[in-house]
Structure 1
């Protein structure tokens, strides 16, 4: 579950997208597929998704392409969900493919864990 805390100023600047962002939905789905936490709540979706992937021959693409991009972790690169993704999947994919290689290299690894100072 994603929890965001807003103050009054944050809420005043908040806008809602007219529809779900397809690339964010992909990211959320990849994380959900890899997690057993709370799976009981998503059991029907999980079984249907696995069945559909198998029937459409997409399991190899899932393991070889998507899961490495969206590892089971608290972090995944911001370039995978560009702002133009709210327009539609095609616009989001175009922006994703246009991501400069420098940004991919910079964001492609999780940030270092910050240790508390003393």
Structure 2
């Protein structure tokens, strides 16, 4: 038996409903009934990186980073394939650039989506402290 099981269904067209555990996730290649797969991947990556960033903070002695927000940007080529992803990470805590860099490095090692993506497609991460 696998560790993760999902079921994705499309009755017609390009919209899908994925059953992920107890949750339904609407994804639509045309962005009509839900976000498209590339947008969903970018959001999933950010959703993985953010808690990994918190764990990285804890591992470096910063247990309370406060509010964290990731604004993600992605670039597509002419075939609509993802070519670049970047994260601007806004953190309530006011740490040094070196401390944020150490936390971001740990987050990259902790985030399972980061590990799963091919080497040429990883988020370029920028962290902004004292953001709120």
- Give the alignment's TM-score, normalised by structure 1: 0.23
Kindly indicate whether structure 1 or structure 2 has the higher relative contact order, using CA contacts under 8 Å at least 6 residues apart.
1
Structure ranking higher in helix proportion: 1
- Give the alignment's TM-score, normalised by structure 2: 0.21
